[in-house]
Amino acid sequence: MVGVMSAITPHVAPQNYGEVFTRRWVVDALLDLTGYAADSDLGALTAVEPSAGSGAFLLPMVERLAASAKIHGRDLRSLGGAIRAWELQPANVVVLRSGVRQVLVDAGALELDAHHLAHEWIIEGDFLLPDGDDLLTADVAQVKADVVVGNPPYIRFDDLDDAVAAAYRRRWSTMAGRGDIYVGFYERGLGILKPGGKLGFICADRWMRNAYGAKLRAFISRRYAVETLWQMHDVDAFEADVSAYPAVTVLANRQQGAVTVVDTTARFGPVSACAAVAFADSSAEETDGEGFKAARLPSWFEGSDLWPAGGPKEIRLLEDLNERFPTLEQTGGDTRISIGVATGADKAYVVTREAADVEPDRLTPLVMADDIRTGRLVPPRKVLINPWDDEGRLVDIKRYPRMANALASHPSVIARFVAKRNPDDWYRTIDKVYPGLADKPKLLLQDMKAQITPVLEPGGLYPHHNLYYIVSTGWDLEVLGGLLLSRIAQAFIEAYGVKMRGGTLRFQAQYLRKIRVPAPEVIPADITGRLREAFRNYDRDAATRAAEAAYGLPEGGL
């Protein structure tokens, strides 16, 4: 089976991605979760494997189908419509057909019948371009499925042949931005489901929490139901190491109902998977076992919004807070989250004051990630050569010959795209330096860090682009800093943000905007005092207790 890193195909740039095989116990769990079990009459169903690879899913499917036929008295020769498996690589098609023939012969089929079924079931072609392959009949291109299951290929759009990428985007509306090819596999897989049919994939989960997955999330929310979500970030689910965080997702062609959420650890394995499948089939509200916690939630998140990660307890908490509280930027007082200035050539624009041979009024004190790395603001060491005036307009470079000479001495300044596009304004920074921002008090957050660490900058410094900032006239920023220092704010970032290897989190604006907070005017004075004191002392535990009180949560629960 082509796993999280797909095998090389004719549509991919010439580099070897290799093949990653899904472990058999993961395959069995997905087949169970989608209802593809031998005790059901599988001969009456149509099951689709959209990217069959070398058969990690397909061969167990055939085993189950053959066992079901025996139980339900079906002749193997009558099962021509029971499976459709797509595979793009001719070498894999040969291996697949040989493997399927052997499984069928072992199950009692004649060699000739096994040969015919293997050729009927396995389609050499592109699942995402069913109408563009002459080998496909109209019936195959328009197949309707009861079950779609597998591990779709994980290939960046940038690695596709341009013509193929364009064809995919024309055909599949969810394939937007600089995403991954598996998005299209979800869309087509869902689109061919019969009413009540189920799709089960193990796949990288980045689409759940990235902008390029927004259209797919909205597509699912409009027409389909999320049934099961297993988060398997640390689970040894594949035969080789992979660089993506996988998840098991089961979706159904029906209205949204309850959702089974399973959060796993590295100890999750075959026995745990059986217990988690059994929980999904039960009426229990929650359970835990070796390496996992599971719960049944009454509904799922709607629209194109990001899907949260985390355990059932954390997701329930977020559902509650999302319903009861506004986002940070909805709390009034011109509360705004943004990122610092990008220059496009930091070696030219970001300098020490001593080394800056420019007109003094063109220097703006700059705060950078190194200045807040410890959780406290230290005296900044760098300044920005600032080509913008107090009205937010570019200065006349002729009036600043020293600045012109300093910037022109760096070839990288002229080489930037922004300079080539605007040759008369070659000296501008990529981002505008907004007038008045430096003077405002602000909370600063370093982009990549293990824990949320807000730092107060009382005013006078302009943030660099490796920092995100929050400004507000409606908040006492120390009180807001106490809320953000808490483990409640951390839970929002862990749930919605991208986690890097080693546990480092991204504190980008899109994730900070997901944090829900009580409006400042509704927080009692005694609690604001506790939040302010916790922030000043950088006491994360005290901040969490005070935040729990502000949110109306039981203190000591986090």
Structural domains in the chain, CATH included, are: 24-223 (3.40.50.150), 336-551 (3.90.220)
**Mean per-residue pLDDT for 183-203?**
96
Per mean pLDDT, which of 11-15, 170-174, 296-300, 439-443 is the most reliable? 439-443
The answer to whether the CB of 174 falls within 8 A of the CB of 152 is no
pLDDT (0 to 100) of residue 242: 57
For range 52-64, the mean pLDDT: 95
The arithmetic mean of pLDDT across residues 231-243, rounded, is: 75
Which pLDDT score, from 0 to 100, does residue 458 have?
97
- For residue 7, what pLDDT is reported? 32
Q: Which of 130-139, 281-290, 439-448, 455-464 has the lowest mean pLDDT?
A: 130-139
pLDDT of 152 higher than 60: yes
Query: Given this model, what pLDDT does residue 135 score?
Result: 39
Q: How confident is the model at residue 71 (pLDDT cuts 50, 70, 90)?
A: very high
* pLDDT at residue 505, rounded to an integer: 81
Give the H or E element holding residue 537.
helix 525-537
Q: d(Cα 464, Cα 350) in Å, to the nearest integer?
A: 9
Cβ-proximal residues to 112 (8 Å cutoff; 6+ apart), any chain: none
Asked whether the CA dihedral 413, 418, 421, 425 is positive or negative, the reply is negative
pLDDT score recorded for residue 468: 96
Would you state the structure tokens that stand for residue 444, as one six-digit string? 């600063």
**Counting Cβ atoms within 10 Å, is residue 134 exposed (0-12), middle (13-18) or buried (19+)?**
exposed
| Predicted pLDDT of residue 319 | 87
In this prediction, residue 239 has a pLDDT band, given cuts at 50, 70 and 90, of low
Q: Which residue has the higher pLDDT, 478 or 9?
A: 478
Mean pLDDT, residues 240-260: 86
pLDDT band at 449, cuts 50/70/90?
Answer: confident
Residue 558 binned pLDDT confidence (cut-offs 50, 70, 90):
confident
**DSSP calls for 348-414:** HHEEETTT--S-GGGEEEEE-GGGTTTSS-----EEEE--B-TTS-B--GGG-HHHHHHHHT-HHHH
Report pLDDT digits (tens) over 360-408: 999 999 999 999 999 999 999 999 999 999 999 999 999 999 999 999 9
What pLDDT does residue 12 have?
38
Helices 540-551 and 525-537 cross at an angle (nearest 10°) of: 160
Instruction: Grade residue 99 by pLDDT with cuts at 50, 70 and 90.
Output: very high
pLDDT digits (tens, 9 = 90+) for 4-23: 333 323 333 333 333 557 89
504, 483 in Cβ contact below 8 A?
Answer: no
Q: For residue 403, what are its two tokens?
A: 């600045």
pLDDT for position 497: 80
Q: What is the pLDDT of residue 3?
A: 39
pLDDT tens for each residue of 274-326? 999 999 999 999 999 999 999 999 989 889 988 988 888 888 898 899 999 99
Describe the crossing of helices 312-324 and 487-496 by its angle, rounded to 10 degrees. Answer: 100
- Name residues whose C-beta falls within 8 Å of residue 431's C-beta, 6 or more positions apart in sequence: 341, 342, 343, 465
Pick the most confident of 236-250, 300-314, 341-355. Answer: 341-355
- Rounded CA-CA distance 168/478 in Å is 50
pLDDT tens-digit map of 494-520: 888 877 766 788 888 989 999 999 999
Are 347 and 410 in contact by the 8 Å Cβ rule? The answer is yes
Q: Check: CB of residue 78 under 8 Å from CB of residue 45.
A: no
- Residue 342: strand, helix, or coil: coil
Q: What average pLDDT does range 229-234 have in this prediction?
A: 91
pLDDT of residue 11: 39
**Global confidence as pTM:** 0.80
- Specify which residues 288 forms β-bridges with: 293
> What is the pLDDT, as a whole number, of residue 442?
97
Mean pLDDT of 83-92: 94
Token pair, residue 148, equals 């779609």
The share of the chain scoring above pLDDT 90, in percent, equals 77
What confidence score (pLDDT) does residue 2 get?
Answer: 40
Does position 137 have pLDDT exceeding 80, yes or no?
no
Choice among 101-105, 109-113, 202-206 with the minimum mean pLDDT: 202-206
Mean pLDDT of the chain: 90
pLDDT number for residue 116: 97
Q: What is the pLDDT of residues 516-553, one digit of tens each?
A: 999 999 999 999 999 999 999 999 999 999 999 999 99
Predicted confidence at residue 18, as pLDDT, reads 34
